[in-house]
Amino acid sequence: MTELTEEEKEVILHKKTEMPFSGKYNEFFKEGTYVCKQCGNPLFPSAAKFRAGCGWPSFDEHFPGAVRRVPDPNGFRTEIICAKCGGHLGHVFEGERFTPRNTRHCVNSLSLRFIPKQPDKDKPK
């Protein structure tokens, strides 16, 4: 488990939401993998990320078995958590038609760590 900052603890452990348009991954589009900030579980491939304009990183799919859906305490939304450690990631929405998958995982940047794609070491130079 990674040592979390106080701000990360508020989001990941206490289910707070970071301010919209404030997260470092909101407008970040590089090849790689987004993993859980707390436990390192691979969550989302960069190919699943898209611009939703909502102020938080948005993904239309996750790695199989990586994310769990649970009822949000307010009863209006569906929360998404890391399937490995239970850390709060954000919420999931369906039916908005942003992508053909018709799903938006709206995730706090503070819940994520990005691992860039490593160049293939076997490729000829």
Average pLDDT over residues 16-27: 96
pLDDT band at 122, cuts 50/70/90?
A: low
Residue 71: alpha-carbon gap to chain centroid = 17
Structural domain for 100, as ranges: 6-115
Rounded Cα distance, 11 and 9, in Å: 5
Average pLDDT over residues 17-45: 97
Rounded Cα distance, 105 and 89, in Å: 9
Any domain includes 14? yes
pLDDT band at 119, cuts 50/70/90?
A: confident
Any domain includes 120? no
76 vs 52: which has the higher pLDDT: 52
Rounded Cα distance, 50 and 18, in Å: 19
Any domain includes 37? yes
Per the annotation, the verdict on 106 as an active-site residue is yes
Query: Which residue out of 36, 54, 82, 106 is catalytically annotated?
Result: 106
For the segment 93-113, what is each residue's pLDDT rounded down to a tens digit? 999 999 999 999 999 999 999
Which domain CATH number covers 60? 2.170.150.20
Any domain includes 123? no
Any domain includes 71? yes
Neighbours of 88 (CB within 10 A): 23
Any domain includes 86? yes
Count of domains observed in the chain: 1
Residue 30 tokens read as 């590089």
